[in-house]
């Protein structure tokens, strides 16, 4: 069983708030990812990291930012949340072939 | 660019076999994956196949890969109501590092 955690699982906030979605993994994986899943269930890569101090933007443009100061931790931050940010955010990690996902954070911005 | 296509819905009766199909465009894909997502949950890795293989079987799951037609399928034998979920096909394009490209998912509905 892969150990990858996301908090909070659900978050409802008002427009303009700053939020950080947490993602941690205990497997020592170098590679970590953030995907955004829209209501139609399609997944889009928004950020990835291949190791400490390495972060890259994904295919889908996102106003969020990420950091990778520790191997096990890959938080995603929205400086000023908007209703268009309402979505499910999925974190994942991988080492070689298998990519494991966390349970997701469902974000609603009012 | 890379693209992964899946049919959106499949409905089967309990005990029947389910076959979920996927097509992809990147002929240099190295690995192809099947993930399962239940309501309110993350994605669970079901199985994957290396691009030089034609078939992989794992208990009730059989993956078939037709590399010439860029077609991947997932067969679930003796489908159960607990198999109801969304199934995602994904690939790793050869030039895109290790990030996955996903299809839009196939919703499998199993009736008793």
Per-residue pLDDT tens over the stretch B56-79: 999 999 999 999 999 999 999 999
Contact B45 A100 (CB under 8 A): yes
- Is B44 part of the contact surface with chain A (CB cutoff 8 Å)? yes
Contact A42 B105 (CB under 8 A): yes
B90: nearest CA partner in chain A: A43
Contact A58 B99 (CB under 8 A): yes
B48: nearest CA partner in chain A: A98
Phi and psi angles of residue B4, each rounded to the nearest 5 degrees, phi first: -130, 125
Contact B99 A33 (CB under 8 A): yes
CA-to-CA distance for B83 and B67, rounded, in angstroms?
A: 27
What is the rounded average pLDDT of the residues A47-58? 93
Interface mutation target, options A34, A35, A99, chain B, most CBs of B under 10 Å: A99
pLDDT, tens digit (0-9, with 9 covering 90-100), for A19-46: 999 999 999 999 999 999 987 778 889 9
Whether B2 has a pLDDT exceeding 80, the answer reads no
Whether B15 has a pLDDT exceeding 90, the answer reads yes
Whether B21 has a pLDDT exceeding 80, the answer reads yes
CA-to-CA distance for A41 and A19, rounded, in angstroms?
A: 23
């Amino acid at each position: 069983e892969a150990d990858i955690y996301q908090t909070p699982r659900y978050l409802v906030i008002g427009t303009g708030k700053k939020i950080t979605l947490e993602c941690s993994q205990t497997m020592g994986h170098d590679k970590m990812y953030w995907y955004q899943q829209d209501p139609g269930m399609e997944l889009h890569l928004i950020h990835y990291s291949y190791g400490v101090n390495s972060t890259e933007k994904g295919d889908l443009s996102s106003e969020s930012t990420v950091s990778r100061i520790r191997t096990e931790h890959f938080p995603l931050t929205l400086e000023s949340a908007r209703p268009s940010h309402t979505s499910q955010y999925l974190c994942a990690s991988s080492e070689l072939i298998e990519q494991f996902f966390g349970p997701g954070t469902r974000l609603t911005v009012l | 660019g890379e693209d992964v296509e899946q049919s959106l819905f499949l409905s089967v009766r309990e005990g029947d076999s389910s076959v979920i199909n996927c097509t992809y465009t990147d002929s240099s894909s190295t690995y192809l994956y099947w993930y399962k997502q239940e309501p309110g949950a993350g994605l669970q890795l079901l199985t994957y196949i290396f691009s030089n293989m034609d078939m992989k079987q794992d208990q009730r799951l059989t993956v078939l890969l037709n590399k010439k037609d860029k077609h991947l399928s997932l067969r679930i034998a003796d489908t159960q109501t607990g198999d109801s979920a969304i199934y995602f096909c994904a690939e790793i394009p050869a030039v895109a590092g290790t990030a996955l490209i996903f299809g839009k998912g196939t919703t499998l509905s199993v009736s008793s």
